[in-house]
Each structure stands twice: as structure tokens, then as C-alpha cells.
Amino acid sequence: MSVLEASYIVMLLRPHHKNFNKRLVKQPKLYFVDTGIACALLRIESIDQLSTHYLRGGLFDNWVILERLKKRFNAGLNSNLFFWRNNNGHEIDLLEEKGQDFHAWEVKAGETFQSDWLKGLKWFEKIADPIPQLTLIYGGDRSTTRMGVSIYSWRNLI
């Protein structure tokens, strides 16, 4: 695994260490630095195949998280990116640490916004200290704000 990391083929996203509630998952998540490699390994050769592939959501998560990482590195910042998940299944796809503050990101590949996508972020908001900035990135075209959550189209990452 260390060779793949050192070769910039994969990146391990570590779980956040702050104990917002006691039962945390501590295994890192693996992401491909180049989603093209992931698609090649999955034998996805076209947009049509990708749009119906059962791992489309995971590939979209992978892409969004790597875009955030590249943005931080291009700004001369350290990674400071984590995920958070407890044993009860509550999860934040991406936690960006900014000093003492947090930015919590939920990532959804769907193109039509669903209000239940905000449940995880709103749950996390209740237990986090300090209260994080909340953002949802999704596969649609419209950006808006709902229930205190900034909702952005994936196009805003480019």
C-alpha cells in the first residue's frame, strides 16, 4: 500500500480523530488519485457505461475528494482532509479541517437534489463542536442553499 501511495496512484483518506461521539470507525478509505485508472480497472470505457455502473457514486465521491485535495495543494495548504463515520452508520464523506473549524462535505452523484441527502450533515451539525460549515456537492446543475447547507453543482468544483 505504501508503494501505491508513494507513487501517487492511491491516497488514503484517514478518519478524523476528534471524538464527537465515542464509537468511531478508524480504518482509512482508499481513493485513486486518477479516476481514469479506477475506471480502467473496472473496465468502464465510456460515459454510457459510467452513468449506469453500480460504482458510479463511489467514483464520483473519489473525484470530488481529489478535486478538494488538489485545490488545497494548489493553494499551498496541507491536506487536512478526513472523513468521519461512527459505528451506527452516520458518516461525513469529507471533513476539511481549517484551524479549529471544520467544513463538512456530503457528496452525492445523483442529478436531482433529494432533501434526505441533508440528513447526515444536519445530524453531524448537532454533535460537532464547533458547528461546521456544511456543503453538499451533487451531480446536478443547480446551486442553492437549503436548511443552512450550501448545495453546489459538481460544475462549481472545476
Q: Rounded distance, CA 113 to CA 92, Å?
A: 18
- The whole-number pLDDT of residue 22 equals 61
Q: Which residues of 109-124 are buried (b: 16+ CB within 10 A; e: fewer)?
A: beeebeeebbebbeeb
Domain that holds residue 59: 2-157
Confidence of residue 141 (pLDDT cuts 50, 70, 90): very high
Hey, what's the cell of 93?
Answer: 464523506
The pLDDT score that the predictor gives to residue 88 is: 83
Q: What are phi and psi of 38, to 5 degrees?
A: -60, -45
Q: What pTM was computed for the model?
A: 0.90
Cell numbers describing residue 70: 488538489
- Mean pLDDT across the chain: 92
Residue 17 has pLDDT above 80, yes or no: no
Number of domains in the chain: 1
The reported pLDDT for the residue numbered 129 is: 83
Average confidence (pLDDT) over 66-74: 93
Written as nine digits, the cell of 23 is 464509537
Task: Compute, in degrees rounded to 10, the torsion defined by CA atoms 12, 16, 22, 25.
Answer: -10
Looking at the chain, the whole-number percentage of residues with pLDDT higher than 70 is: 95
